[in-house]
Amino acid sequence: MNAKVIPHKHKVTGVTAIAVLVALGSCEYKSANSSVPSNYSYESKQVVASEYELLAAKKTGEHSGEGVIRIDGFKLNVTFDYEGVPDSYGVAGSDFTAAEITNLAIESVTDLRGKPWNDFTNHDDHKNINILLVGYIDRNKWLEAA
């Protein structure tokens, strides 16, 4: 036979495997740093989720309204503008008009006793307030009435 047997084949393989494991084990694996700095406004540092409740809402114009939102222990008086945008569920015949808040203004912030506070809301609060208002507009068919 032309094959030559290397008597130390198992020893060479074992030493090579140990050398590779030691080399990999000595590497310091570090998690990749994010390429986005952490001081961007859309990154929320909020640890505890806030509780939101729509206390009241009414139409003030064809595509505008005002509402009272409870967020944790505070009441927010808000005004908003909305419009209808065509939407569907992706199935033929499922077209409908969805509400979209185009402008949200926090008019005043008070605690539940009526003491005024500065506006402390952030992007997450505005997003959740918009969701509450859109749900109310859709449930009460404000777009169909307009």
What is the spatial order of strands in the sheet that 52-61 belongs to?
52-61, 64-71, 74-87, 96-111, 116-117
Helices (H), the chain: 9-26, 123-139, 142-145
pLDDT band at 82 (very low <50, low <70, confident <90, very high): very high
pLDDT tens for each residue of 7-42: 667 777 888 888 888 877 777 666 655 555 555 555
Q: What pTM did the predictor assign?
A: 0.65
Helices (H), 51-139: 123-139
- In which residue are the tokens 């203004």 written? 105
